[in-house]
Structure 1
Amino acid sequence: MTKNVLVIGLGLIGGSVALALQKAPQVKVIGYDAFIQTRAMAKTLQVVHEVVDDPKLAAEKADFIIFGTPVNATLDWMDKMQTWTLKSTVIVTDTGSTKSLIMEKAKELQAKGITFIGGHPMAGSHKSGITAAKPHLFENAYYMLTPHAEELEENIEKLETLLKYTHGKLVRVNAQEHDHMTAVVSHFPHIVAASLVHQLYQENAQFPMTSSIAAGGFRDITRIASSNPLLWRDITVQNREELIGQLEQWLKEMDAVKDLLQEGDVALIEQYFAMAKEVRDELPISAGAFYTSFDLYVDVPDYPGVISEITGYLAEDNISITNIRIVEAREDLFGILVISFQNEDDRERAVKCIARKANFETYIS
């Protein structure tokens, strides 16, 4: 029997989920978006099997409902859903990046007999909107599920059976654990990155060349500060309690570093950096919560046509690139040319391609 999956919100995340689920057997993916232009695009690009103008009517026949909307919008939809006529067996989930508020609201649905299991596919892109949606966006990325403790195992397994077609790594945690962990590895680092950029901006007023030489480590550590401000405004507000706790820990750490510098003990300073290096080097290389660029640094000689030469070699091997740039200030960088790829596999293929056809040295930062 065909299962109907209604995806509400057809941007990058919702659209990518819809495309991935089209690979599931005996599944019909129905889509809705609040913007009529997005609905038209979804139909043209065949992001879903069917586009509807009224999600309430489509929800009546749905076996699964997936909210691909920002958390605040999802909370509004969950309010509306309480008046909808739904199948008694329907399973509802979301894709929001914070879970505590969502799962608290889910108790209201639970009281009405509606099964809600929170979800967060921890992948993204530097692009947004339905045109950036890809069926493989979540491959090998963690896909977090946050069911209530009393949720029936049967319902969780049904959702996992559907979501396995995203090829994400499905894991279960509770909402509080999720929000704490994502605060540590994703949300708080965005605040740190933004603060470093603010500091650069202030310094640049007195030393105008500062931003011109900001490459290497500074560019790497602040890359995520280029993310959508509205998205991060909402995430910061929604997860502010966890972020305040992280900020307090960070301030204590910075006080400790300040003491370390004032003491000037070279052995302790070296030990501080050595420990950081050891922990950092042991981190797994995998898709994170948001867009990760897979950069390849190429040490090329400066002669006319060298960039088109390299991109031509990559094109011959059907290797797609997402960005290419030349860096002038190359402190702790090994190559003048930086090529970004969508995934690690493409980058590895590029390394072999360039070594075989151009014999230029390549480096991974």
Structure 2
Amino acid sequence: MTRNVLVIGLGLIGGSIALALQKAPEVKIVGYDQDENTAKQAEMLNVVHETVIAPEIAAKDADVIIFGTPVNATLVWLDQLKDWQLKSTVIITDTGSTKKAIMQKAAELRAKGITFIGGHPMAGSHKSGILAAKPHLFENAYYMLTPLAGEEIVHMAKLESLLKYTHAKVVSVSAHEHDHMTAVVSHFPHIIAASLVHQLRTEDDNYPMTRSLAAGGFRDITRIASSNPILWRDITLQNRKELLMQLKDWQAEMGRVQQLLEQGEAADIEQYFASAKSVRDELPVGAGAFFTPFDLYVDVPDYAGVIAEVIGYLADEAISITNLRIVESREDVFGVLVISFQTEEDRKRAANCIEKRAKFETYIS
């Protein structure tokens, strides 16, 4: 029996889910996007089996409805969905990066007999839009589900049986746990990155050369400050309470740093950095990291054509890359090529290839 899946919002996340779920047996993927060009591209590229111009009509036959839209847009859709004709067994889910407001709306749906299970696949790409969609985008990443308290096991099992084709690690947490954890590892770091960039800007008048020196290390730390400001405006407002708590903790930590500097004890300062290094080195690499690709660092000599040479070796062995960049200068690293891969397997193959054919040293940061 065919399962009908309706995906509303065909950007990077919605499109990638649609592609991944096509691997499930007896599944028909129907897509909708308010941008007509996006919808046409999705159908032309076989991201979905077909597209519709009226999602409320397609929803009548849907067994699962997935909103791949930003949280604010999803909230509007969920209000409209209350009046749609739906199967009594339909399961609704979303992909939003904050969950509190979404799950409050889910409670309203439950009161009307509609099952909604919050979702958040914690993976992404430096690219956006339907053209960047990939069926393996979520492989080895965490896919967090946030069911309402007392959600029936059969509903969870039904959704998980479908999401397993994303090859993500599906885990269930409460909306509060989700918003707190993502505030710590994703949302608040964006604020820190933005604040560092603002601090750099204030140096321009007295020390204009500072900006020119802001290469490797500074660029790596603040890379996420280049993210979509509208997206992060919404995330910040939606998770404001958790972020204020993180800011309070951060200010306390900075007070601790200030005390270390004022006391000027070399051993204490060294221990501060050593402790941070120990925790950082124990973090999981790649799998499950939020919006983090599998990066491989390559020590390359400085001669013309070296980058083309390395990429050529990878092309010869059909190893696909998602991004590459050069770490221009950093106090402890020089002449490093950083190549990003979609999977851990690709990174391992690339490391073996480069070390064998180019004789360059590779490592994972």
2:189 paired residue number? 189
* Structure 1 match to 2:65: 65
Q: Match of 1:241, as an amino acid?
A: K
| 1:275 corresponds to | 275
1:351–1:205: structure 2 CA closer, same or farther, 3 Å change rule?
farther
Give runs of aligned pairs for residues 275-314 of structure 1, distance below 5 A.
275-288=275-288, 290-314=290-314
Provide the residue aligned with 2:232 in structure 1: 232
**Other-structure match for 2:171:** 171
Deviations 1:221-266 (A, max 9, x none): 2121121111111100000000000001100110111011101111
Q: Which residue matches 2:47?
A: 47
Cα distance per residue 1:87-110 (max 9 Å; x no partner):
011000000000010000111111
CA-CA distance at 1:314 after TM superposition? 1.2
- Identity of aligned pairs, percent? 72
State how far apart, in whole Å, the 2-side matches of 1:320 and 1:304 are.
Answer: 23
The more displaced of 2-11 and 273-282 is 273-282
User: Which residue of 2 is the match for residue 107 of structure 1?
Assistant: 107
Distance apart, 1:144 and its partner CA = 0.5
Measured after TM superposition, the shift of residue 306 of structure 1 is 2.1
Instruction: Supply the distance in 2 between the matched residues of 1:40 and 1:72 (Cα, whole angstroms).
Output: 24
Counterpart contact for 1:300–1:336, Cα < 8 Å = yes
CA distance in 2, matches of 1:19, 1:116: 22
One-letter amino acid matched to 1:347: R
Give deviations 1:157-194, integer Å, cap 9, x for gaps.
Answer: 11111111111101010101110011011100111111
3-state DSSP class of the match of 1:66? strand
Q: CA RMSD in A?
A: 1.5
Q: CA–CA distance in 1 between the matches of 2:322 and 2:208?
A: 30
Aligned 8 A contact 1:330 1:336 in 2: no
Q: Does the 8 Å contact 1:355/1:361 carry over to 2?
A: yes
Task: Check whether the contact 1:193–1:225 (CA below 8 A) recurs between aligned residues.
Answer: yes
- Give the drift of 1:292: 1.6
Cα distance, 1:339 vs structure 2: 2.9
Q: Deviations over 1:69-120 (max 9, x none)?
A: 0000000000000111100110000000000100001111111100000000
Partner of 2:330: 330
Task: Tell whether 2:192 aligns with 1:202.
Answer: no
Aligned to 1:134: 134
Shift of 1:327: 4.1
Unaligned runs of 5+ in 1: none
**Matched letter for residue 267 of structure 1:** A
Shift of 1:334: 4.0
SS at match of 1:261: helix
The Cα of 1:353 is off from its aligned counterpart by: 1.0
Structure 2 distance, partners of 1:320, 1:162, is 27
SS of alignment partner, residue 205 of structure 2: helix
Structure 1 residues 140 and 328, CA gap change in structure 2 (3 angstroms) = closer
Say whether the 8 Å CA contact 1:217–1:332 is kept in structure 2. Answer: no
From the superposition, tell whether residues 101 and 278 of structure 1 become closer, same or farther in structure 2 (CA, over 3 Å).
same
Deviation at 1:288, TM superposition (A): 4.6
Gaps spanning 5+ residues in structure 2: where? Answer: none
Q: Which secondary structure state, in structure 1, belongs to the residue aligned with residue 88 of structure 2?
A: coil
CA positional deviation for 1:22: 0.5
User: 1:121, 1:289 within 8 Å by CA — same for their partners in 2?
Assistant: no
SS at match of 1:204: coil
Inter-partner Cα distance in structure 2 for 1:204 and 1:340: 33
Q: How many Å separate the matches in 2 of 1:229 and 1:51?
A: 30
Is the contact between residue 6 and residue 62 of structure 2 (CA under 8 Å) also seen in structure 1?
Answer: yes
* 1:35 CA displacement: 0.7
| Residue aligned with 2:318, SS | coil
Distance, in Å, in 1 between the alignment partners of 2:289 and 2:32 is 25
Q: Kindly indicate whether the alpha-carbon contact (under 8 Å) linking 1:186 and 1:289 is maintained by their aligned counterparts in 2.
A: no
Tell me, in whole angstroms, the C-alpha distance in 2 between the residues paired with 1:285 and 1:85: 45
Other structure's SS at 1:331 match: coil
Instruction: Give the equivalent residue in structure 2 for 1:318.
Output: 318
Task: Give 1:289 shift.
Answer: 5.7
Give, in whole Å, the separation in 2 of the partners of 1:364 and 1:152: 42
SS at match of 1:360: coil
CA distance in 2, matches of 1:228, 1:288: 22
Deviation at 1:210, TM superposition (A): 1.8
CA contact (8 A) 1:297 1:335 kept: no
CA deviations 1:311-346 (Å, max 9, x no partner) are: 211110112223333444232214343333333332
Aligned AA (1:224): I
Query: 2:193–2:221: 8 Å Cα contact kept in structure 1?
Result: yes
Give the secondary structure class of the aligned counterpart of 1:203.
Answer: coil
Deviations 1:295-315 (A, max 9, x none): 333333333322222221111
User: Quick one: which amino acid aligns to residue 246 of structure 2?
Assistant: Q
Q: Quote the Cα distance in structure 1 between the aligned partners of 2:150 and 2:37.
A: 40
Q: TM-score, normalised by structure 1?
A: 0.96
Name the CA distance, whole Å, in 1 between partners of 2:250 and 2:334.
31
CA distance in structure 2 between the partners assigned to 1:176 and 1:328 by the alignment: 40
1:218 aligns with 2:215: no
Q: Secondary structure at the match of 2:203?
A: helix
How far, CA to CA, are the matches of 1:219 and 1:296 in structure 2? Answer: 17
204-213 vs 46-55, which deviates more?
Answer: 204-213
Aligned partner of 1:242 in structure 2 is 242
More deviation, 77-86/261-270: 261-270
